[in-house]
Chains A and B, each alone.
Chain A
Amino acid sequence: VIWMTQSPSLLSASTGDRLTISCRMSQGISSYLAWYQQKPGKAPELLIYAASTLQSGVPSRFSGSGSGTDFTLTISCLQSEDFATYYCQQYYSFPRTFGQGTKVEIK
């Protein structure tokens, strides 16, 4: 099983801020990493796959980077609709695993 450490678990921020969320793997996964956004009471939505490829329709203020064991999700200029919880997921091997989640709240 590939274990994932996502940090921080909670992020307090203001509109316009630049945010970085980290995801670290217990072993290398090349670029087999996705990022999801989930708003309260809603299903998650895909933001990024292959570590850095933006899903169609996702705003360009979202970006992903990294490979191997260390990955980052960056939101360059936080908007009101970005307050949500973010999860990373590895798909290098089964069982698939998710990070613990990062809740982005209004400061």
Chain B
Amino acid sequence: EVQLVESGGGLVQPGGSLRLSCAASGFTFSSYAMSWVRQAPGKGLEWVSAISGSGVSTYYADSVKGRFTISRDNSKNTLHLQMNSLRAEDTAVYYCAKDSPNGDYVDYWGQGTLVTVSS
């Protein structure tokens, strides 16, 4: 059974940093691309970032490019999202997501971790 468990969310001041982690199990982690998707309170889904199975290729939404960094540790089956220069508009539930075998759509989602950016 695929399991994705996020951690690292919390309250941070504008301009601050936070590192999210996602512990994956139930599949061969290094064989799959992974993504982060966020959802601001009461709003829709927003794709944030993706990383290939090897970690060589990374992709970002324009809204986070230059501020967020996605990475993975295949030896520990863990996905990370380093978030710097946080803004109020980054407040959201952040979902860790496993991509499909071809690295296209998301086929499994974690339960999410809430990030609140406020002074």
| Contact call A95/B104, Cβ cutoff below 8 A | no
Q: When the two chains form the complex, which single residue of A1, A55, A101 contacts B107, counting CB atoms closer than 8 Å?
A: A55
Closest to A98 in B: B45
| Contact call B110/A34, Cβ cutoff below 8 A | no
Q: Determine the interface band of chain A, counting residues with CB < 8 A from chain B.
A: 20 to 34
Q: What is the size, in residues, of chain B's interface with A at 8 Å between Cβ atoms?
A: 22
| Contact call B105/A94, Cβ cutoff below 8 A | no
Q: When the two chains form the complex, which single residue of B61, B105, B111 contacts A91, counting CB atoms closer than 8 Å?
A: B105
Scan residues 74-119 of chain B and give those whose CB is less than 8 A from a CB of chain A: 95, 100, 104-112
A100 at the interface (CB under 8 A from B): yes
| Contact call B44/A87, Cβ cutoff below 8 A | yes
| Contact call A98/B46, Cβ cutoff below 8 A | yes
B61: shortest Cβ distance to chain A, in Å?
5
Give CA–CA (A100, B44) in the complex, Å. 6
B106: shortest Cβ distance to chain A, in Å?
7
A89 at the interface (CB under 8 A from B): yes
B59 at the interface (CB under 8 A from A): yes
B32 at the interface (CB under 8 A from A): no
Instruction: Give 1 or 0 for each of B48-71: 1 = CB within 8 Å of chain A CB.
Output: 001000000001111000000000
B34: shortest Cβ distance to chain A, in Å?
13
* B interface, CB within 8 angstroms of A: 35, 37, 44-47, 50, 59-62, 95, 100, 104-112
* A interface, CB within 8 angstroms of B: 1, 32, 34, 36, 38, 42-46, 49, 55, 87, 89, 91, 94-101
